[in-house]
Amino acid sequence: MKQVTISNTFMTLMVLDYGATIQKLLLKGKDGSYTNVVVGYNHPSRYLLDENILGASVGRYAGRISKGGFDLDREKFFLHQQEGVHLHGGKEGFHQKFWNIEEVNTKENPHVKLSYKSKHLEEGYPGNLTVNVTYRLMSNALQIVYEGVTDRSTVVNLTNHSYFKLDSNPYIDDCELQLNCPYLLETKENLLPTGDIIPVRKTELDFLLSKEIGVKRLDTVFIKDTGSEKVGELHSNLSGISMKVYSNQPAVVVYTPPDFPGICFENQNYPDAPNQPDFPNSILRPGEIYNNISIFKFDIEQ
């Protein structure tokens, strides 16, 4: 397993080739000390046994797909499923693959670029798909860019699965969360979308104004305000660290796991879009370029 480290004045990023995984993101404080703002393992080999997809790149389709597959151009494609749900790319998604390290730049706006080639019918998906991810440090922000091209029409939905944790608390309940997301996708008990879109205002999932996350665990598809790139903001009163999230994607899955502290902002298309004609298009055709851009910008109170 290979590990790459890049740094600038404000941050240090450690990336693994396995799963194109963010292992550590160290934020420099006012006193010169560093805070790791993502959940991860110290030893890279631990990721081979990880079931939480810590910091990894998820694909070929992040989120859930129903019906054991999807129809595309009058052809049915069958996907791996458990209890009627296909999740995060299948039995062995992109987060369980070794990616190639293509570029490492340690100078101005340092970045590392990794790539993976997914063969036709890998996990049941059509087309030879080539994807890459670029992690770039831009002052006090981390930019993540996913791109993809295919030789045959397919469906694509990539995301990063980092769990952010801004302080040393053994829980995340006291962190304040604000989401620029006026709607969410209604889901069934198995978390597959019903197809309905629900306003969040005056519900327990209303984070339009900043409030504590609380004890309720989230695994929710929020729909971003179409008029803004900003997804939302996370703030810790304990550490004074804030993180603003930006994305060019229509939705974000906000996930707070039940068994350890952390919060995911999975910027992506809607789950099950291949089977929901009213959802945003998830089809990538030959000659097109899939593009998913996220920015995580950090600030520390004086």
Percent pLDDT > 90 in the chain is: 94
Structure confidence at residue 226 (pLDDT): 86
Write the CATH number for 233. Answer: 2.70.98.10
Q: Could you tell me the two tokens for 164?
A: 């952010």
Q: Compute CA distances 110 → 31, 34, 65, 124, 197, whole Å.
A: 23, 18, 36, 36, 40
So which residues are the catalytic ones?
161, 266
pLDDT digits (tens, 9 = 90+) for 198-253: 999 999 999 999 999 999 899 999 999 988 899 999 999 999 999 999 999 999 99
Structurally, the chain folds into a number of domains equal to 1
pLDDT at 229: 94
Is residue 302 scored above 70 in pLDDT?
no
Rounded to an integer, the average pLDDT of 144-153 is 98
Q: For 139-229, where are the E strands, in sequence order?
A: 141-150, 154-155, 159-160, 163-164, 176-179, 183-187, 193-199, 211-212, 219-223
Please choose, from the candidates 147, 174, 177, 140, the residue with its C-alpha nearest in 3D space to the C-alpha of residue 25.
Answer: 140
Q: What is the pLDDT averaged over residues 72-99?
A: 96
Given the structure tokens 């504590």, which residue do they identify?
212
Q: What is the pLDDT of residue 31?
A: 86
To the question of pTM greater than 0.85 for the whole model, the response is: yes
Average pLDDT, the chain: 96
Portion of the chain with pLDDT greater than 70, in percent: 100
* DSSP H or E stretch at residue 137: strand 129-138
User: Mean pLDDT throughout 73-85?
Assistant: 94
- Distance CA(108)–CA(86), nearest Å, equals 41
CA–CA dist 82, 160 (Å, integer)? 22
pLDDT digits (tens, 9 = 90+) for 14-73: 999 999 999 999 999 888 899 999 999 999 999 999 999 999 999 999 999 999 999 999
The residue type found at 292 is N
Local confidence band at 277 (pLDDT 50, 70, 90 cut-offs) = very high
| pLDDT single digits (tens) 252-262 | 999 999 999 99
Predicted confidence at residue 32, as pLDDT, reads 87
Domain housing 288: 3-300
